[in-house]
Amino acid sequence: MTVLDLLGDAPPESPSEVPPVVELRGVTRQFPGDPPVHALHPADLRVGAGEYLSVVGPSGSGKSTLLNLLGLLDRPSDGEYLLDGIPTAHAGERERAALRAGHIGFVFQAFHLLPHRSVLENVLLATIYSGVPRAERRDRAVAALERVGLSHRLDFPPTVLSGGERQRTAVARAVVSQPRVLLADEPTGNLDSESSEAVLELFDELHAGGLTLLVITHEDDVSARAQRRVRIADGHLREIA
């Protein structure tokens, strides 16, 4: 059975059988060199549905390596990564792309919005790539933008928005496909304090609505908003009490 088979219809699981949304089992990542670079030492991590987890650590600690593994943008050197109970380490690229599109929403520090497309068009493009049925795309995109408080900006290009509005557009784009987990990489890194607070309040609302969030940051005050925290340093991942 392939990952694509597992993505198809399946009988509902009982609550005791529901797997974590994110599960790392002894995952490592090393890069060739003399000596090899151990970017991530053996890591175990479980994030259940609806949890809000932050990963905090300084530059060079392994945060980007971890994000790339969690987002299926890279493969572990050893160990297994299960997304919604689906093993991914040895899945083919087509299978990994299907999992990314259907299960993961991304928010990045640099927004990555298309400058010559409207706010609505930026979110609509995400519905195409994630396989939302054509008849539902516009309504879903408008609803996502209303959810982040940007219903008055639908036809504006991102270039005239504030930094906070651009990041809220990026959040709408990430959640429009109703992902199982939202991965946010330094989501407040390019924002002033007022805009940062607005984005973090939005994350609180998304979490309260049942979305699983995993926020990677170097800022302790950002990580403190989460329900659970883990710290990464020199490639070692550990839970913060």
Q: What is the pLDDT of residue 17?
A: 73
Q: Is 213 exposed, middle or buried (0-12, 13-18, 19+ CB in 10 A)?
A: buried
Tell me the C-alpha distance between 89 and 77, whole Å: 9
Tell me the C-alpha distance between 144 and 51, whole Å: 21
Contact 228, 52 (CB under 8 A): yes
Q: Is 8 exposed, middle or buried (0-12, 13-18, 19+ CB in 10 A)?
A: exposed
CB atoms within 10 A of CB 234: 13
Tell me the C-alpha distance between 196 and 222, whole Å: 9
Tell me the C-alpha distance between 119 and 159, whole Å: 10
Domains (ranges, CATH) in the chain? 49-73+96-240 (3.40.50.300)
Q: What is the pLDDT of residue 18?
A: 84
Q: What is the pLDDT of residue 225?
A: 94
Task: State pLDDT tens for residues 100-121.
Answer: 998 999 999 999 999 999 999 9
Q: Is 107 exposed, middle or buried (0-12, 13-18, 19+ CB in 10 A)?
A: buried
| pTM for the structure as a whole | 0.88
Tell me the C-alpha distance between 29 and 222, whole Å: 26
Tell me the C-alpha distance between 206 and 213, whole Å: 8
Q: What phi-psi label fits residue 105: left (phi over 0), alpha (psi between -120 and 50 degrees) or beta?
A: beta
Q: What is the pLDDT of residue 129?
A: 81
Contact 101, 176 (CB under 8 A): no
Element housing 165 (H / E): helix 163-175
The list of the chain residues with pLDDT below 50 reads 1-12, 14-15
Element housing 26 (H / E): strand 22-31
